[in-house]
Amino acid sequence: MTEKKQRSFLKELPILIGIALLLALGIKTFLLQAFSIPSDSMQNTLQRGDRVLVDKLTPWFGAEPERGEVVVFHDPGGWLDESVRQDTNVFQDFMSFIGLMPSAEEQDLIKRVIAVGGDTVACEKNGPVTVNGKALEEESYIYPGDSPCGSEGFGPVKVPEDRIWVMGDHRSNSLDSRFHQQLPGQGTVPVDDVVGRAVVKAWPIDRWGTLPVPDTFAEQGLAAAPAALGLVGAVPLVMWRRRLRARAAEGAPGAPGTAEVSGTAPGAVSGTDGRAAG
């Protein structure tokens, strides 16, 4: 009986291994992927040799990078030296393919999102970095002793829609958006090139931890004011005009005449759709 069980297990073992490999491949493709940190550009948040897990699920549902997130992205072109490749063996290539080891072939980078499409980002000599005129308080995550943008400064740069401006936390040792402004997009990265957000430092164990968004990116006034706010401001004016018209129709004493109300002054709101006339 025992021999039959062993033979049965040996027959099922290849199937179990195949299922495990398919699950690992599925996790890498749709859920999480491991990446190795190859440089010092994100110190002290990330150290050379750290392994991070990158969320690849939420982008499938339309999520886009937000300010303050640490993201992995493909080389947009011209950022990395393609001649520099790590030597790998067949085992490493296979483990990378199924997502159990970081890939040495993919030309990917990891940086922090500072500004998103529609933002204006700038930094005068030695900082601070400003986003839409709001200064960032970056002491909690940039490398100790670094200035926010170095002695050169940059911008202002208007980030195109569907692109992001990224910078390494080790500002004096990071070839980020600041140093690629001569390329198409002025150093910004297409959202389509983003693999996902790094959410966890998984290795080594003694450095395990999450990668939260710093508080400075949650401050009010950081986001660019959308044009729709003009409509919000127009609503009280429209309601005021309607009330005046109602009073005039009822013949309330002291109310402005109907012709006076219906006349549209230059620059005033015309009708109730929130568009400006004149």
Catalytic sites, residue numbers:
41, 111
Is-contact 198 70, C-beta < 8 A? yes
Return d(Cα 80, Cα 69) in angstroms, integer.
21
Q: What is the dihedral sign for C-alpha 83, 70, 157, 76?
A: positive
Name every residue whose Cβ is closer than 8 Å to that of residue 237 and which is 6 or more positions away in sequence.
Answer: 268, 269
Name every residue whose Cβ is closer than 8 Å to that of residue 264 and which is 6 or more positions away in sequence.
Answer: 270, 277, 278
Return d(Cα 174, Cα 70) in angstroms, integer.
14
- Please, how many CA atoms are within 13 Å of residue 92, restricted to the half-sphere of its CB? 8
